[in-house]
Amino acid sequence: MRKVFLSYNPPSIGEGERTEVMDTLASPWVTTGPKTKAFEVALMGYMGASGVVALNSCTAGLHVGLLAMGVGPGDEVLVPSLTFCATANVVEHVGARPILVDVCPDTLTLSPDRVAEAITPRTKAMMPVHYAGHPVHLDELDALAERHGVMMLEDAAHAISTRYKGRLIGSRSNLAAFSFYATKNLTTIEGGCLTGEAKLVDRARIIGHHGMSRDAWNRFDRSGSWYYEVVLPGFKYNMTDMQAAIGLVQLGRLEQFQKRRREIVDRYMLGLSGCDALELPIEKEWASSSWHLFVIRLKPGRLRVDRNRFIEVLKSRNIGTSVHYLPVHMHPYYRDKYGYRPQDCPVSTDAYERMISLPLHPGLSNQDVDDVVEAVTDLVREHLA
């Protein structure tokens, strides 16, 4: 058994990030300024996006994205139940109603069949989540959106470097919101961005910066002007140069990070392939996952321990894990306000009860991965039904 606890997903921060932060601290700009702009340009070049605005979180991107699209009271927005609560919360924030939709049994991404059933004349938008880094069925969702006049805002919190049929998520004209939280494949510690058609992104930028007609750093720069106007009541969602400094270095390391993630996934797949009591994650032939998460599911009736006990035993063996996620329809707020029951989204409910996210980050050594595999396979062998 391991002697040192293996953390589930710490950030990969190196000397380059520390140097850039110190450089920023020594500059005239620590809040939104030239490094934030440079980060936006770099993201635009990496993704091939026509517009990018850097923000202080993915949640901010989802919020201003909905507002930029004109979603508001009386509208319905389709949201997968198996997602972090922020995806649904922002719909509440704009006064619309989140309609919770079940997911596909294999990829755990938004089910096009369930979307087709959930669309009504009040449906204004859908927010598919690229769960664990695996892309949703974009062609099928696009067809439904076009047929019913529904807009799309992709929750790409897990999806930096994810590709759908060879094309990077974030390169399309519809809006997509990314997370750069501490656990993500690329981190700015806290932060995110919104990509999409330049006109929509420009509107989102204004909404996310107090509704002001120009950025603060432009106002105070030598080439800028002190004068600004508020064109709408916005929010303070801007990214800082401190965050962007880290992001610029992280973006340069992303290819290396992703190469290591895939090596780790391959090692997990090989080591766990003989455990018939486990359901391993998949990658469709048309997909290239970012592998933000490695989620296993315990097969029903195959073990004498449940998911919670499985996690406790792994922790006792110094293996950190997590669960992604308690489905939105099971949270008290959404359950009580809208009357959702566990059986309303049966795939999400079933997956939640059986899932465990194993450690996955570029800092894992081969020995770390082997320790996880050994702990999981030992546990399965000891508790086979």
Quote the strand ranges of 278-373, DSSP E.
278-279, 287-288, 294-298, 355-358
Q: Which two tokens stand for residue 83?
A: 């997602």
Helices 241-272 and 34-47, axial angle in degrees (round to 10): 40
CB 217 within 8 A of CB 225: no
Q: Distance between CA 60 and CA 320 in Å, rounded?
A: 29
State the DSSP string of 132-173. Answer: GGPPP-HHHHHHHHHHHT-EEEEE-TT-TT-EETTEETT-SS
CB 53 within 8 A of CB 201: yes
Q: Is 326 helix (H, G, I), strand (E, B) or coil?
A: coil
Catalytic residue status for 184: yes
Q: Distance between CA 131 and CA 128 in Å, rounded?
A: 9
Q: Is 296 helix (H, G, I), strand (E, B) or coil?
A: strand
Helices 366-382 and 241-272, axial angle in degrees (round to 10): 50
> Which member of 37, 124, 184, 236 is catalytic?
184
Identify the CA nearest to 79 among candidates 67, 93, 91, 66: 91
CB 176 within 8 A of CB 169: yes
Q: Distance between CA 312 and CA 310 in Å, rounded?
A: 6
Using DSSP bridges, classify how beta strands 163-164 and 167-168 pair: parallel, antiparallel or unpaired: antiparallel
Using DSSP bridges, classify how beta strands 151-155 and 123-126 pair: parallel, antiparallel or unpaired: parallel
**Residue that is written with structure tokens 């006792």 in the block:** 316
Return the active site residues. Answer: 184
